[in-house]
Amino acid sequence: MTIRRLWPQSLVGQVILLVALALFVAQAINFSLLLRERNRLTLTGQTAPLAYRVVTALDQRADRTPDRPTARDGRPDRRQARAIRFLSAQPTLGGKPRPDVADRARDMLEDMGLTVRQVIAAEDSLVMPLRRWERLRLRQGEAPDDRRVGRLQLAVEYDAGQWLLVEGRIGNRPPRFGGWLAGQTLILYIIVLAPLLWIGRRLARPLRQLTASAQQFARTGAADPVDERGPGDVRDLTMAFNAMRARIIAMLDEKDRMLGAIGHDLRTPLASLRVRTESVEDEAERARMSDTIEEMNRMLEDILSLARAGRSAESPQKVDLSALADAVVEDFVELGSPVTLADSARAVALVRPQQIRRALRNLIENAIVYGDRAHVSVAHLPGQVRITVADEGPGIAQDRMAEMLEPFTRLEGSRNRETGGAGLGLALVRAIMTEHHGELRLANRAEGGLEASLVLPA
């Protein structure tokens, strides 16, 4: 879960992260190779002087030259004499064994044509005498090299029971390539990732515009065309989106014109039927016919409103929803309907007033039909305004909550006009809430009945 949270969601972020990881792996491999090569060179640098000293000492012994080496002026070099000793038994080397130095020394001696019987090496912390240049630095008042730590001993059995012991200096110089490699990695990241970031942002800009336009089109059914720019693939995608947008808008416009024509054509015969009902002498029959015509008008209006959801011509405006709810409840009270409104503070939101009025009226009508009474309240919460309509009916089974929001779905299965409409009320309310970026919530009350809430962003 943590990895998914850290993983970037954008295309540019994922590409940059993958390139950064690839560079890190490449630099890790490069570091390993450099470290291996450095260790090899360090080992060679430690072993080579001792190997050459062994070869020189054995050559001098073979030539029967004095065992004690001499300096350039011909005088004995006591310092080097102490570092080279011929022994008749295997020496005991103190300190830390260095089998790597022994193996490297054996290989170097074989490369120089000298085959030996046995090689051992060890490292200890005995400080070796200062070199000539170090003594000169001391005379000049400079501090000696404090990185010298000790001595490296190499014992070679060149003949049966005959050993040669040589000594050399060893230091603990810290690796110099660590900081250099870190700087190289930083420069490489800047050189590679900076242009990649610039290209990625340039590529993502038209994609973000395309995404915003598609989201706007999904919410409102209308959106501005996207500028056709960027790489060829992105331009092709933008062109395809603009063409699809134009085609869908044309189809929606044609649908609106068709619905308008259907509504006009159906209202004309309904108006004619309403006129003809006036000539019916039976008053009860005339009332039933008028109710049927009125129900057909309401059903037609609901169907047209649901079909046009998301493409309302009404412009949004800031409205006090408490006052709006009070006006709607007052209309029902004047008709004798059992509706009450709880006292509430001012709650302003940007809405389409006629649509919210329509949604609230549908919820109140449902509460009266299915729950006997309607209790309306308005609450101003952080970031949202909630209009709640509660009834005193049987409520809705939990497994049918989502089903009741679908068009032409009724809680009461029969199509009896006395027990409800065509099942479009809640579907229309949900469509209105979707257009307002809000939500219709249904919940059963603990004390009995259903609670329907219009949740709108404040």
Q: Hey, where are the domains in the chain?
A: 11-175, 315-457
CA gap 129, 77 in Å, rounded: 13
- Split at pLDDT 50, 70, 90, the class of 161 is confident
> What integer pLDDT is reported at residue 141 of this predicted model?
58
**Strand locations in 115-232, DSSP E?**
118-124, 148-159, 162-171
How far CA 341 is from CA of 299, 334, 338, 373, in Å, comes to 27, 14, 10, 11
Regarding predicted confidence, which is higher, 3 or 346?
346
Would you say residue 301 has pLDDT above 80?
no
- Helix, strand or coil for residue 164? strand
Query: Domain 315-457 is in which class?
Result: alpha beta
CA distances from 131 to 53, 356, 438 (A): 17, 96, 85
Give the per-residue pLDDT at 191. 85
Tell me if 273 sits within 8 A of 286, measured CB to CB: no
Q: Is the pLDDT of residue 376 over 90?
A: yes
| Angle between helix 232-277 and helix 177-220 axes, rounded to 10 deg | 20
Integer Cα distance of 44 and 50 in angstroms? 10
Question: Which of 261-265, 281-285, 286-290, 295-299 shows the lowest mean pLDDT across its residues?
Answer: 261-265
Confidence category of residue 274, pLDDT binned at 50, 70, 90: confident
Q: Parallel, antiparallel, or unpaired: how do β-strands 339-341 and 374-381 relate?
A: parallel
Token digits of residue 154: 């190499």
Whole-angstrom Cα distance, residue 351 to residue 343?
Answer: 21
More confident residue, 45 or 4: 45
The model's confidence at residue 311, banded by pLDDT at 50, 70 and 90, is low
Judge whether 62 and 158 are in contact, CB under 8 Å. no
Specify the residue for token string 């070199």.
Answer: 131
Q: For the segment 55-107, what is each residue's pLDDT rounded down to a tens digit?
A: 888 888 877 544 444 444 444 444 454 568 888 888 888 888 889 888 989 99
pLDDT at 225: 84
